[in-house]
């Protein structure tokens, strides 16, 4: 907010959108005349956050991330949306919100956690990072990073998956898309190296999961680390809408509720 002077009204500046009686302006362009039908939604979302029009390679990587995170079946977030819709079919917004509010450290939050973990390691070695083709250098940095996390009893975000025990199919595809479009940067290179060296520290081999590689890819696009979870939620909104549409066509929320209710087993509280 700009404070008023000489009795003038306060001002609230924004570089996003505004409108008057005849036009809507978004990002400095006429919405109806210059953007609608010419700019894709993924491009626009990236543009809104960065305040600059992204180039096609950035859009391709960004949209690949959105597709990778859109839906994973009957996850807790999807069930939350469906059961909320069962309780309040008059509130689609409530059902969507319920699903999005479940995006945390176990589901969807890994995208941000992994991006932040990698960014912290890279920042600590700023000015001393290996070259793009120096795999041995990236391996050394990854080994140091994983060892430090282990010493601090921290999990390494982006390692392991409850379903994909050997390889997450999204990971090599997103790495390839980033490479093809010139956006395989330090976060992705360090993440790849973590995948190569972590068995030396952890004593077992875990796959690099899709949520983690998405976080690394978003960070390499220069997006704010504190907003990475927001992009995961943006992607999952589409998936939740799909679940709600399916719930309208072929409801199963009541079956889920009744299955739990009819199979509930009362256990006396401790001490009774």
Q: How many domains does the chain have?
A: 1
Contacting residues for 222 by C-beta, under 8 A, at least 6 apart: 50
Contacting residues for 233 by C-beta, under 8 A, at least 6 apart: 100, 103, 108
Q: Find the CATH number of the domain harbouring 71.
A: 1.10.230.10
In a domain, 48, yes or no: no
Residue 140 belongs to domain spanning: 55-251
Distance between CA atoms of 92 and 202, rounded to whole angstroms? 44
In a domain, 221, yes or no: yes
Task: Pick the closest to residue 63 from 272, 234, 264 (CA basis).
Answer: 234
Q: Is the dihedral of CA 78, 75, 71, 232 positive or negative?
A: positive
In a domain, 128, yes or no: yes
Other Cβ atoms within 10 Å of 209 Cβ, number: 24
Identify the burial level of 269 via C-beta atoms within 10 angstroms of its C-beta, where 0-12 means exposed, 13-18 middle and 19 or more buried: exposed
**The two three-digit tokens of residue 227, written as one number:** 């907003």
pLDDT tens across the length of the chain (272 residues): 566 666 788 989 999 999 999 999 999 999 999 999 999 999 999 999 999 999 999 999 999 999 999 998 999 999 999 999 999 999 999 999 999 998 877 777 899 999 999 999 999 998 899 999 999 999 999 999 999 999 999 999 999 988 888 999 999 999 999 999 999 999 999 999 999 999 999 999 999 999 999 999 999 999 999 999 999 999 999 999 999 999 999 999 999 999 999 999 999 999 86
In a domain, 269, yes or no: no
In a domain, 258, yes or no: no
In a domain, 37, yes or no: no
For 15, the 3-state DSSP assignment is: coil
In a domain, 143, yes or no: yes
In a domain, 47, yes or no: no
């Amino acid at each position: 907010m700009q404070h008023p002077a000489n009795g003038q009204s306060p001002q609230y500046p924004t570089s996003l959108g505004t409108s008057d009686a005849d036009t809507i302006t978004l990002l400095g362009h006429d919405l109806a005349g210059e953007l609608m039908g010419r700019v894709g939604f993924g491009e626009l979302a990236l543009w809104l956050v960065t305040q600059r029009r992204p180039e096609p390679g950035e859009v391709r990587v960004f949209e690949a991330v959105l597709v990778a995170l859109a839906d994973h079946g009957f996850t807790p977030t999807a069930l939350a949306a469906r059961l909320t819709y069962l309780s309040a079919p008059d509130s689609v917004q409530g059902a969507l919100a319920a699903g999005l509010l479940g995006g945390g450290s176990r589901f969807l939050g890994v995208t941000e956690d992994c991006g932040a973990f990698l960014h912290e390691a890279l920042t600590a070695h700023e000015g001393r990072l290996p070259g793009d083709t120096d795999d041995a250098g990236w391996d050394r940095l990854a080994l140091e990073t994983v060892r430090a996390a282990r010493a601090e009893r921290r999990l390494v975000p982006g390692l392991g998956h409850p379903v994909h025990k050997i390889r997450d199919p999204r990971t090599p595809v997103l790495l390839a898309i980033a490479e093809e479009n010139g956006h395989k940067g330090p976060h992705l290179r360090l993440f790849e190296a973590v995948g190569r060296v972590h068995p030396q520290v952890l004593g077992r081999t875990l796959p690099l999961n899709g949520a983690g590689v998405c976080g690394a890819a978003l960070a390499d696009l220069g997006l704010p680390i504190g907003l990475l979870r927001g992009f995961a939620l943006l992607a999952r909104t589409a998936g939740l809408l799909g679940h709600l549409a399916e719930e309208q066509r072929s409801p199963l929320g009541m079956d889920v509720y009744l299955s739990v209710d009819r199979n509930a087993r009362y256990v006396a509280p401790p001490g009774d």
